[in-house]
Structure formats: structure tokens, C-alpha cells
Structure 1
């Protein structure tokens, strides 16, 4: 579990996050949503240590990440997996070598064990047959799946995903959502996803944090969204006619 307590972040005289309090549950897909410029990316960067908050706490299973020593933070980061918006694969390495990279850096496994572990993760994302290909030979969706395999190869306790469906078509986005949701439960991870994709929100949003102009505006589940009365959240989630029709239909049924 990750808990944020009274988190503030400012850049010079500009306040970006204001008194954020939230809990991200273990074994669930936790989504952070909000309009561009709302502060959700800044929040994730504070969670993983790419930025330091102006004040507040970031607790990993009651361990305060902010006050840890440099060595403690290095050890803590070994418990984290990260999926970047661009997949961020190494073009000069094969798919297998990309997935093995964290093992090469941080594990004590021998070469044969590292290969086996990387192949297990590639098999989990249905890309074992692509292990000798290079990233440039793969589609965007396949690259994201390689990034997922690389992110889980060290068996992380915490998985962070920055816009994992960015640039993908709806069908491929659904595949990525299902993978992330399934892997979260399999590994009992605390998964946190920044997303603009409202289809993802309604498909896998077990715990959703909505940030508006740097403030925590709402938190709940995808089921709670259908009955919420927060106008700002409704403007974001139900911007499309499809979602508005779904909500209207469910309200008519008394759900």
C-alpha cells in the first residue's frame, strides 16, 4: 500500500499540488485522472522520487520514502517497476535483452537464470516469439507489452504506469488494460496508472483519484463514478456522448 499524506509541491512561487491525501491499495489498479496540467504527472514523479515534495509524506507500507537515506531509496527503487509513456526501450537491444536489462543491473542471477526469467515475463505478455526482434520491428502495442514485461521482471511490489495507452488504438488499449489488471492481481502489486483514457477508467478503475488544478477533488471506484454528483468529474469522464448515455441509462434503471 502507498499512502500520501498532506503532500504539497510548488515550483518557485507556483503551487502545483495542494494538500493531497490519498491511499493506493495493494492488489488493485489505482488510477490517477485529471485534465492536462492538473498535477497528476507531478504527483507520480513525487511518488517515485523523481521530484521531492515541498512538504508532506509518501509512505510505502508505512515507510516514509521522503526521509529515507540515499542508500535506502536505491533499495526502495528496486521494489518499483515503471512503464513510461513512450515504452522507452533500447533500440540497439533485442526484445529479450531489453527485458533482461534490469536483471543484468540488479539481480544476482547467472546468465541462464536471467534468460529464463525474462522469457517467463515475455510469455506472460504473449511475446515469447518476438524475443529476438528489435523494438523497431514491433508495433506500438507490442512495444508497450515488452515494457510491461521489463517492468515486472524483478517482481516489483509497486508498478507505476504513465499513460500506458498513449498512441494506441482502442483494441490494443484494451489488451494493455487487461494485462495490467491481470498482472496486478497475479503479483499482488500496488499498481498506479496515470491516464487520460476514460475507457480504462471504466474497465479497470478499482480505485480512482481525480485531481483538479492541483487539488484532490474526488476518490472512489469505477462503480462510484456512475452515481457521483461531482460536476468537474462528470465533465471529464462523461465528455463523450457514449459515456453520457451509459450514465443516463444506469440512472434510469435506478443503479
Structure 2
């Protein structure tokens, strides 16, 4: 579980995050949503330690990231897996070598054990047959699945996903969503997803935090969204005719 308490973040005289309080539960897909410029990306970067909050706490199962020393931070970092918006694979490495990269960096296992673990992760995302290929030889959706395999290679307790469906068609996005959700449940991870994709919200939004102008505006799940009376949330979620019709059909 990750808990954010009274979190503020300012850049010079501009206050971007204002008193954010939220709990991100383990074994569930936790989503952060909001309009561009709302502060959700800054919040994610504060949670993973890329930005230092101006004040407040970021608790990883009770351990405060904000007050950790360098050694404690390094140990925590090994418990994290990350999936970037662009997949961020190394072009000069094969699919297998990409998945092995964090194992080569942090694991003390033998080479054979690292290969076995990487192959297990690739098999989990149904890409074992592509292990000898290079990133430019596989599709964008397959690259995202390789990124997922790499993110879980060290068996993390916490998984962070930055716009994992960016650039993907709706069918492939659904595959990625279901894969992230299934892996979250299977390994009982605390997964936080920063997304603009409303299909993801309605599909795997088990715990959704809506940020508006740097403040926590609403928190709930995908079912509660359908009955929300929050005007700002409704305006954001049901901006398209499709989702407005879905909401009206559920009244």
C-alpha cells in the first residue's frame, strides 16, 4: 500500500499540488486521472521520488519516501517496477536482453537463473517466442508487453505505469489493461496508473483518484463514477457522446 498525506508541491512561486491525501491499495489497479495541467504527472513523480514534495508524506507500507536517506531510497527503488509511456526499450538489445537488464543491474542470481527469470516474465506476457527479436522488429503493442515483462522481472511490490496505452489502438489497449490488471492481482502489487484513457477507467478502475487544478477532487471506483454527482468529474469523464450515453443507460 502507498499512502500520500498532506502532499504539497511548488515550483518557485507556483503551487502545483495542494494538500493531496490518498491511499493506493495493493492488489488493485489504482488510477490517477485529470485534465492536462491538473498536476497528476507531478503527483506521480512525487510518489516515485523523481520530485521532492514541498511538504507532506509518501508512505510505502509505512516507510516515508520523503525522509529516506540515499541507501534507503536505493533499497526501495529495487521494489519498484516502471512502465514508461514510450516503452523505453533499448534498441540495441534483444527482447530477452531488455527484460534481463534490471536483473543484470540488481540481481545476484547466476546468468542462467537470470535468463530463466526473464523467460518466465516473457512467457507471462505471451512473448517468449519473440525473445531473440529486436524492438524495431515487433509491434508497438508487443513492445509495451516487453516493457511489462521487464517491469516485473525483479518481482516488484509496487508498479507504476505512465500512460501505458499511449499510441495503441483500442483493441491492443484492452489487452494491455487486462494484462496489467491480471499481473497486479496475481502478484498482489500496488499498481498506480497515470492515464487519459477513459476505456481504462471504465475497464480496470478499481480505485480512481481524480485531480483538478492540483487538488483531490474525487476518489472512488469505476462503478461509483457512473453515479457520481460531482460536476467537474462528470464533465471530464463524460465529455464524449459515447460515455454520456453509457451513463444515461445506467440511470
Q: Given the two structures, how large is their TM-score scaled by the length of structure 1?
A: 0.98
**Counterpart secondary structure, 2:41:** helix
Q: Which residue of 2 aligns with 1:164?
A: 164
Structure 1 residue 241 displacement after superposition? 0.8
Q: Which residue of 2 aligns with 1:2?
A: 2
Deviations 1:158-190 (A, max 9, x none): 000000000000000000000000000000000
Deviations 1:76-115 (A, max 9, x none): 0000000000000000000000000000000011000000
Structure 1 residue 240 displacement after superposition? 1.1
Number of residues of Structure 1 aligned to a counterpart in Structure 2: 251
Q: Which runs of 5+ in 2 are unaligned?
A: none
**In structure 2, C-alpha distance between the alignment counterparts of 1:57 and 1:73, rounded to whole Å:** 14
Q: Which residue of 1 aligns with 2:31?
A: 31
**In structure 2, C-alpha distance between the alignment counterparts of 1:188 and 1:67, rounded to whole Å:** 26
**Counterpart secondary structure, 1:227:** coil
**Counterpart secondary structure, 1:66:** helix
The answer as to 2:211 corresponding to 1:246 is no
Deviations 1:16-39 (A, max 9, x none): 000000000010000000001111
**In structure 1, C-alpha distance between the alignment counterparts of 2:143 and 2:21, rounded to whole Å:** 34
Structure 1 residue 156 displacement after superposition? 0.2
Q: Which residue of 1 aligns with 2:186?
A: 186
The answer as to 2:126 corresponding to 1:126 is yes
The answer as to 2:47 corresponding to 1:47 is yes
Q: Given the two structures, how large is their TM-score scaled by the length of structure 2?
A: 1.00
Q: Which consecutive segments of 4 or more residues in structure 1 shift more than 2 A?
A: none
**In structure 2, C-alpha distance between the alignment counterparts of 1:9 and 1:207, rounded to whole Å:** 23
Structure 1 residue 239 displacement after superposition? 1.1
The answer as to 2:97 corresponding to 1:104 is no
The answer as to 2:216 corresponding to 1:216 is yes
